[in-house]
Amino acid sequence: MSRNASSQVVLFGGKGGVGKTTCASATALKLAQQGSKTLLVSTDPAHSTSDIFDTSLGDEPTAINNNLHGVEIVPKERFNRRYSEKLQGILERANDFGLDIGEGDLTDVTADGLIPGTDELAVIDVFAEYVGNSTWDTVVFDTAPTGHTLRVLQLPDVAGTALSKAAKLKSGIDSVTSAASRVFGGGGESSESGLNISDDIATAQSQIETVAEIIEDAERTRFNIVTHAEDMAIAETKRLYQELHDAQVPVGYIIANKVRIDINEDCHHCVAQQQQQLALLEEFERDIGVSTHRIPATPEMSDIERVQAIAEDIPLAAKPSR
């Protein structure tokens, strides 16, 4: 596969515990085996990718095997490392200038209490860094459970909260320092000194716009939903499917994981469970008008064996539904 300035993007989402990491890992492995330079990114707090591949992954891409690299991101830590010191400096300087900034505002932008949107800003930062260059043919995202994923998809509204607060504080400081400079003949210290927050705000705003465009681009992006054939998982899958459509995100496959496909007919419990699962999936497919890709339950396999087995037949592309 030739190198492009525009990586293909495959996202996996769904209820916690349904096997998103397994399916994302299998997809990334299959892509790599087919010659695609692939990066597997985990933003799920569980971070089991390292365990699956028996490789220590961190917040920088690490080789797993030929053509496949992995990275595990802790959004809160990434935000704190890149932004919180600068934002805290702005808030402290605002207090020095007598602006009405309470103690709660300070803890809002430190590790003790992140304001709404900072977690999403960190994910946007990761997305823009790895998708927006020619290093990777495909970037596969193993996302956090449904609620967090939906917040990330609402990028302009959610992440913008953090930016608007920082911009408002900086504007207030700029007004004070400008007045001080006029009164004291240049004695006012620039709010940019050592902080460079204007560049950070502009960069983040640009990233939000770029990432939103990529996520909605049916030529580049597929969002695969992973579920179990059980009532709660199916209900959450319906909700996520509808949310994705409302957000204009291209949906690729809906993957039903751990379905009782090959069973011992003499096992009455197995037969009953299979019938229940199939009935749920058939009703689900009728309700939303799409078919599911079904992955058999293989309890006897290890994690890596299961990933390798799933990689053999997991679908890689689909005409997206909108």
Question: 201: which 2 tokens?
Answer: 């705000």
Residues 6 or more apart from 90 whose CB is under 8 A from it? 166, 169, 170, 173, 191, 195, 197
Question: 305: which 2 tokens?
Answer: 């064996």
Annotate 181-195 with b (16+ C-beta within 10 A) or e (fewer). eeeeeeebeebeeeb
For 276-294, the pLDDT digits (tens) are 999 999 999 999 999 999 9
The reply to whether 296 and 148 lie within a common domain is yes
The reply to whether 54 and 189 lie within a common domain is no
The reply to whether 221 and 259 lie within a common domain is yes
Q: At 306, which CATH number?
A: 3.40.50.300
The reply to whether 191 and 263 lie within a common domain is no
- H/E element, 146: helix 146-153
The reply to whether 150 and 66 lie within a common domain is yes
Range of the domain at 111: 82-115+169-203
Query: Considering the domain boundaries, does residue 262 fall inside one?
Result: yes
107 has a pLDDT exceeding 90: no
The reply to whether 50 and 64 lie within a common domain is yes
For 177-204, the pLDDT digits (tens) are 454 444 434 444 444 444 455 666 677 6
The reply to whether 238 and 304 lie within a common domain is yes
Task: Give the burial class of 165: count Cβ atoms within 10 A of its Cβ; 0-12 exposed, 13-18 middle, 19 or more buried.
Answer: buried
The reply to whether 68 and 88 lie within a common domain is no
Query: Considering the domain boundaries, does residue 292 fall inside one?
Result: yes
The reply to whether 33 and 71 lie within a common domain is yes
Total number of domains constituting the chain = 2
Question: 56: which 2 tokens?
Answer: 């220590």
pTM (predicted TM-score): 0.78
* Distance between CA atoms of residues 255 and 14, nearest Å: 10
For 68-105, the pLDDT digits (tens) are 999 998 877 776 766 666 656 655 655 565 555 444 44
Query: Considering the domain boundaries, does residue 319 fall inside one?
Result: no
Q: Which of 147, 179, 203 is the last residue of a domain?
A: 203
The reply to whether 110 and 131 lie within a common domain is no
Mean pLDDT of 125-131: 82
The reply to whether 101 and 127 lie within a common domain is no
Query: Considering the domain boundaries, does residue 164 fall inside one?
Result: no
Q: Using an 8 Å Cβ cutoff, are 171 and 178 in contact?
A: no
Query: Considering the domain boundaries, does residue 13 fall inside one?
Result: yes
215 has a pLDDT exceeding 90: no
Angle at 321 between CA 278 and CA 253, to 5 degrees: 45
The reply to whether 269 and 298 lie within a common domain is yes
172 has a pLDDT exceeding 80: no
Query: Considering the domain boundaries, does residue 320 fall inside one?
Result: no
* Distance between CA atoms of residues 129 and 60, nearest Å: 11
